[in-house]
Amino acid sequence: MEKNFCFDDRRGGGGKGRVVESTRWVGQYRHRTLCALYVLYISTLVVRAWRRRMMSGRLSSWRMNQIDHLRSLIRDVPNFPKPGIMFRDFTPLLKEPGALALAVELMANPFRGKHIDLVAGAESRGFIFGTAIAQALSAGFIPIRKPGKLPSAKAAMAYDLEYGTDTVEMHTDAIRPGQRVLIVDDLLATGGTMEACCKLVKLLGAEIAGITVLIELKSLPGQAKIQEYGKVHSVLQY
């Protein structure tokens, strides 16, 4: 402990008393200062935690408002393309610049910093979001096409439809083995097309970094069918 020696020669032994009194005062001052700093530190932590909670709540509320806005731009078309089907038409969303940009951002954001090399989009609506997401992630884009559309050497993968089969194709030189690929489409329903796309990407030696869609129909088994290939991120669920 620091001692502040204050001798007073005019009063006999009073100098010793002054030294003890001064030492005690310094100790009390230090104790009070440390207590004040501790209270200030705790108060700062409490304020920061409160601000984080408030900001988190505001961001969550903002995100829900934005999701509701996107949902309001999805048009329900009953009995299309056949009776009993409720078609989720996202074309009204596409004509709104802000909504389109927001949809792309919400589809791309979970994959920022995930070292995505390529984005693969399924014909044809997957092209709409796929190219924009590729640009947002500074990645390349690969079209996964219907039969007969690609001019060079290609790989193909067939999949079952409700009545018959269909096929998706990709150029064999579109992917280098080991590249990380994000697969994009507008909608995940029964999962047949997406499963074929995943198999095709794996066939060419790529690593599937994730799957992102604008709309997911939770009542249909699409996610269960493709969960072995990667986690599915969807912006809107029905």
Active site residues: 125, 162
Q: Where are the alpha helices (DSSP H) in the chain?
A: 14-72, 91-94, 97-108, 125-136, 192-203, 222-226
Distances (CA, A) of 164 to 36, 53, 160, 170: 77, 53, 6, 21
Helix (H, G, I), strand (E, B) or coil at 213: strand
Q: CA 103, CA 212: separation in Å to the nearest integer?
A: 11
The whole-angstrom distance between residue 66's C-alpha and the CA centroid of its chain comes to 15
Sign of the Cα torsion 92, 97, 102, 107 reads positive
